[in-house]
């Protein structure tokens, strides 16, 4: 089966069963590219605006303590962009719930906070919460965020462990976000990808049964998203950055080269 066939199959199955999942565009990869130079491009808010104008439902950021991707100074302009021009869009802030992150959340009031158990030394997020071990921490932090009126989502492995997911519910979370990194990593192994989609799907089924809504993210792409969305009809939102930014570069490259050739004086 070719990539395009798989895409259409996934879409057809989903159309009959569910609302489309909302797309939140993760701006971290754009910020990382911007941070290579002390220059304001590519513009994080400018590309956020383009994403929202194109119909994205929201913008996601994962500000890390060392500010290697999103800088803390990006947060105010992103909040202002949404409030000023896209009042129906949502701001989703992801991060480990240390005091610095919680203060940023209190200042910028995202519609959704996604708590991720990542260590500052990690290159990127690579696992969900150990709900049994971190129950106390999550109880305190989720309570604090819910008191602000924010929706809280907890990053979760695609492991269909009902007792663990029940803890996510008990500590007061509204949603889980399925960590889809291993699924995204199977781009060259359709059999394993199918098995992982099924495990993610069983995890989502349990979460929904417990009263949790379900988001998903990490290494999702145009190629792997339809099959996952077809298996999880309740999928509320996906946040996508790396694959989406890669596609934006690829699909924008030809026109950009023409613009630069014109700037060189060629009649293009």
Answer yes or no: 108 catalytic: no
Among 14, 21, 26, 82, which residue sits at the site for ligand DXP (rule: CB under 6 A)?
26
Measured distance CA(86)–CA(220) in Å, rounded: 25
Measured distance CA(86)–CA(120) in Å, rounded: 32
Interface positions, 164-223, toward ligand LD2JLWAY (CB under 6 A): 177, 217-220
Interface positions, 157-186, toward ligand DXP (CB under 6 A): none
Q: Does 60 bind ligand LD2JLWAY (CB under 6 A)?
A: yes
Using the rule CB under 6 A, give the single segment among 10-18, 23-31, 143-151, 198-206 that binds ligand DXP. Answer: 23-31
Measured distance CA(236)–CA(165) in Å, rounded: 17
Q: Does 112 bind ligand LD2JLWAY (CB under 6 A)?
A: no
- Residue closer to ligand LD2JLWAY by CB (options 136, 220) is 220
Tell me which of ligand DXP, ligand LD2JLWAY, none is bound by residue 240, counting a contact when its beta carbon lies within the kind-specific cut-off of 5 to 8 angstroms: ligand LD2JLWAY
Using the rule CB under 6 A, give the single segment among 12-20, 168-176, 238-246, 249-257 that binds ligand LD2JLWAY. Answer: 238-246
Angle between helices 99-108 and 135-147 (to 10 degrees): 20
Measured distance CA(257)–CA(254) in Å, rounded: 5
37 in a labelled binding site = yes
Residues annotated as part of the active site? 62, 94, 218
Binding site for ligand LD2JLWAY (CB under 6 A): 26, 29, 60, 94, 177, 217-220, 239-243
Binding site for ligand DXP (CB under 6 A): 26, 28-29, 62, 69, 94, 116, 124-125, 155, 217-218, 241-242
Residue ranges of the binding site: 26, 37, 64, 69, 124, 219, 241-242
């Amino acid at each position: 089966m070719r990539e395009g066939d798989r895409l259409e199959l996934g879409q057809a199955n989903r159309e009959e069963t569910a609302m489309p999942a909302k797309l939140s565009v993760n701006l971290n990869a754009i910020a990382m590219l911007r941070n290579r130079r002390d220059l304001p491009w590519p513009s994080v808010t400018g590309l956020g605006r383009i994403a929202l104008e194109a119909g994205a439902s929201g913008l996601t950021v994962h500000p890390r303590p060392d500010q290697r991707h999103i800088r803390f100074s990006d947060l105010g302009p992103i909040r202002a962009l949404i409030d000023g021009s896209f009042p129906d869009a949502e701001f989703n802030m992801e991060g480990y719930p240390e005091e610095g992150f919680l203060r940023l959340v209190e200042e910028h009031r995202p519609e959704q906070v996604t708590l991720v158990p990542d260590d500052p030394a990690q290159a990127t997020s690579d696992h969900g919460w150990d709900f049994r071990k971190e129950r106390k921490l999550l109880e305190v932090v989720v309570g604090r965020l819910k008191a602000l009126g924010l929706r809280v989502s907890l990053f979760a492995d695609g492991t269909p462990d009902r007792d663990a997911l029940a803890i996510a519910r008990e500590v007061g979370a509204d949603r889980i976000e399925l960590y889809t990194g291993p699924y995204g990593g199977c781009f060259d192994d359709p059999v394993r990808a199918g098995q992982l989609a099924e495990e993610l799907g069983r995890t989502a089924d349990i979460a929904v049964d417990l009263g949790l809504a379900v988001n998903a993210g990490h290494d999702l792409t145009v190629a792997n998203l339809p099959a996952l969305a077809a298996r999880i009809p309740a999928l509320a939102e996906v946040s996508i950055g790396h694959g989406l930014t890669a596609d934006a570069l690829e699909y924008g490259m030809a026109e950009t080269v023409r613009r630069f050739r014109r700037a060189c004086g060629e009649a293009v």
